[in-house]
Chains A and B, each alone.
Chain A
C-alpha cells in the first residue's frame, strides 16, 4: 500500500470521510458526489486515493436512515483552506456526516472495504465452526448412548440365561437339604 507523503511543504495530506444515506436515487447520489468534487476543486485539492465502502448498516438512526454509504478520500490540501472545506461539507445537503482527520506520519492507506468483507466472511466461518463443534458433540453423545444401550442389552441377555440355569439346580439342592433335615431323627422340634 502507498505511504502518504505530501508533494510540497505548503500542503498536507488529509483524510476526508463522508457519509450519505443508502436508499437513494442514482441522480441524487451523483449530485452529492459532484458537489463534493466541486468543493475540493475550489480549494485546489489534489486527490491521492479514494475508497468506496458501499452501503453499511449504521449503529444508530441518523436523520431517519438506518443504512449509509461511506466514502473515504485522501486529499492534499492547503491547511489554510481546511476550514472552508469543513464548512462547505457541513452545509452540503444530502450528506449525513463528514470527518476530516490528519493521518499520522508514515500512515499507509488501507482499503477497509476489502478488509471488512474478509472479516465478515471469516466471522461466518467461525460461527460455522462453532455449530460444527456443537453437532460433533451431540453426535458423540448419541454414539456413546447407543454403545451403552448395546452393552446393557447384551448384559440383560446374558443374565437371565444364567438365572434360568441356576434356579432349578438350587431348587433341587434346597429340596434335598430340606428332605435331609426333615428325615433327621436327631432333631427335636
Chain B
C-alpha cells in the first residue's frame, strides 16, 4: 500500500504556474472562485511547493487573499 502511494505522487518541480498559463496581470481580491483553490481547509494560503505558482503570482495572491480576509470573504482561521 505504502509503495503504491509513493509511486503515484508526481514530481512537484514539474508543475507549471496556473496564472502564468493564462497570463494573469492582477489577481483581484473580489474574485473568490480563483482564490479558493489556493486556500486550504484551515484558511491558510497553500505553499508554492504544492501549487506550483511562480513567486510573482504568489505575492499577488497573498495580497488579494489578505484583502479578502479583511472584508470577511475568506476566513483567517477555521
Contacts and interface: CB of A to CB of B under 8 A. Distances in A.
Most buried by A among B25, B28, B71: B71
B72 A104 contact: no
Interface string B61-78: 000000101111111100
B72 A97 contact: yes
A72 B73 CA distance: 14
A112 to B, nearest CB: 5
A119 B37 CA distance: 13
* Chain B contact surface mostly: loop
A117 to B, nearest CB: 11
Interface residues of B, number: 18
Given A112-B31, A115-B33, A60 B26 contact: no
B71 A99 contact: yes
B38 interface: no
Contacts of A56: 73
Contacts of A68: 72
Most buried by A among B32, B69, B72: B72
Nearest to B32: A116
A3 B61 CA distance: 22
Interface in A9-25: 17, 19
A99 B72 CA distance: 11
Interface of A: 17, 19, 56, 58-60, 62, 68, 70, 72, 96-97, 99, 101, 103-104, 106-107, 110, 112, 115-116, 119
28 contacts: A17-B71, A19-B71, A56-B73, A59-B43, A59-B69, A59-B73, A59-B74, A59-B75, A59-B76, A60-B72, A60-B76, A62-B72, A68-B72, A72-B30, A96-B72, A97-B71, A99-B67, A101-B29, A103-B26, A110-B28, A112-B28, A112-B31, A112-B32, A115-B31, A115-B33, A116-B32, A116-B33, A119-B32
